[in-house]
Structure 1
Amino acid sequence: MARRENPEINAGSMADIAFLLLIFFLVTTTMDVDSGISRKLPEKQPDTDIKPPVLKEKNIFEVNINRNNDLLVEGDAMKIEDLRQAAIDFIDNGGGNGKKVDGKEGEPCDYCNGAKSPTSSDHPNKAVISIQSDRGTDYGMFVSVQNELGAAYTELRNRLGLKKYNRSYTDLVKDLSNNKGNEELKAKISFLKKAYPQVISEAEPTK
C-alpha cells in the first residue's frame, strides 16, 4: 500500500500577518516621554584663565534643602511659602553701590525699595542666590524652591515695569510673543532684566 504524505501548510501568509500585527502595535502604542525643566546654561567663557569675581558674603543668599526636605535660609529654618518674600528683601535691599562700569564705581540702586541694610546685598546686580540640596531631597521640593526664587525676580520686575512703563514685565513678555519684531518691547524687557538680573547658583548636591 502506497504511503500517503501529509500536505504541507503554507506559513507564508502567517508571517505576513504577524508582521502586520507588529507594525500595528508599534504605531498604536503610546510611550511615556520624560520631560525635564527648561534651563538656560551659562555661556562659555572665552578664556579659561579668567578668575571669578570675589563675592562678599552679604551678597550671597544661601538656600539649603536637606534630605528631610527642611528648608534652611541663611542658616535659619524657613517655610517654603516665606521664601519668595525673603528673596525679594535680599535682592531689593539696595544697601550699597552696583558693579563697576568701565573701572568706575557703580551707582546705588535708585529703584530699590529695600531696607538698605549694610548686612544684606549691595545692589540687585551683585545679588547671588545659592541653592544647596542633598541627594535625598525630593525632586518636587527642589522644583518648588526654584519656582519661588524665580517668582521673586518676576515680582520685582513686574513692580518696576508698572512704575516705569505702566505695564508689568509679565505683560510685556506676552506682548512680545504676539509681536516679536517690536524693538521697543525688547528694549523695555531688556532693561527690566538688567535691573534685576536673575543669578541663581546651583551647587553640587551633598551626599
Structure 2
Amino acid sequence: MARRENSEINAGSMADIAFLLLIFFLVTTTMDVDSGISRKLPEKSQDQNQQDVIVKEKNVFDIVVNRNNQILVENDQYVTVNEIKKLAMDFIDNGGGLSTAKDDAPAAPCDYCKGARSPLSSDHPSKAVISLQSDRGTTYGMYISIQNEIEAAYTELRNRLGLEKYKRSYDDLLKDYKDNPSESLNEKIEFLKNSYPQIISEPEPIK
C-alpha cells in the first residue's frame, strides 16, 4: 500500500496578510486623546515689596462644586452646568462701577458693557473675578464642563464686542491671524482680550 504523504500548508503569503491586517487596524482604530484646559499661569513676581491686591466681594463671582457634582453659585443658588455661561456673562458684563486705573490714567466706567450696571455686582470686566472651587470628590468631567462654560462666556462677550467694533467676531479674528498673521490683527485681538480679561481664581479643593 502506498504511503500517504502529509499535506503542507503554503505559508508564503502569511507575512503579506499579516502586514495588510496591521495596516487595516492602524487606519481604522481611533486613539483616545486626553482632554485638558489651556491656562497660562502667572509669572512669579520679582518685587519682594509687592502688596496683596484687595478685591471687593461684589467683584468676585463664587462657584462651588460639591462631591455630588452640585453647583452652588454665590452661596445661595443651586444651578445646572448650562446656566453657568449666562450667569458668568451677566456678572462680567455688569459694568456697575469704574475700571482699573493704569499708568496714572483716571478710572472710567465701561462704555461697551451691556449689563444691568447693578451696584451690587462687578464694577468692570477688568475687575470681575470668577472663583471656581471644587471638592476633592468632584468628577473631572464636571470640572471640565464648568470651565468650558466659563470660557464660552468670555468668548461670546469678545465676539460681540468684535462684531460691534471691527465687524468681525473674536473667533474670526483668531482664524484670520492664524492663516495670515499681521500686527493689525494682533492689535485687534489683544484689544478684545484686554476689554474682557479672563480672570479666574481656583482656590484649594474642599477636603
Instruction: Give the TM-score, by structure 1 length.
Output: 0.81
DSSP-derived class of the 1:151 partner: helix
Write the letter of the residue equivalent to 2:69.
N
DSSP-derived class of the 1:85 partner: helix
Question: Which residues of 2 match residues 1-207 of structure 1 at below 5 A?
Answer: 36-75=36-75, 76-180=77-181, 182-207=182-207
Encode CA deviations 1:159-198: one digit per residue, 9 max, x unaligned: 0000000000000001100112x10100000000000000
Q: Is the 8 A contact 1:85 1:152 kept in 2?
A: yes
Aligned residues: 177
Structure 1, gaps ≥5 residues long: 1-27
Identity of aligned residues (%): 60
Rg larger in structure: 1
- TM-align CA RMSD: 1.7
Q: CA deviation at 1:148?
A: 0.2
Write the letter of the residue equivalent to 1:155.
E
Encode CA deviations 1:98-145: one digit per residue, 9 max, x unaligned: 002234431000000000000000000000000110000000000000
Structure 2, gaps ≥5 residues long: 1-25
Write the letter of the residue equivalent to 1:188.
K
DSSP-derived class of the 1:194 partner: helix
Mapped to 2, the partners of 1:34 and 1:71 lie a distance apart of: 25
DSSP-derived class of the 2:42 partner: coil
Encode CA deviations 1:12-38: one digit per residue, 9 max, x unaligned: xxxxxxxxxxxxxxxx9xx98856433
Distance change >3 Å, CA 33–CA 141, structure 1 → 2: closer
Mapped to 1, the partners of 2:39 and 2:83 lie a distance apart of: 24
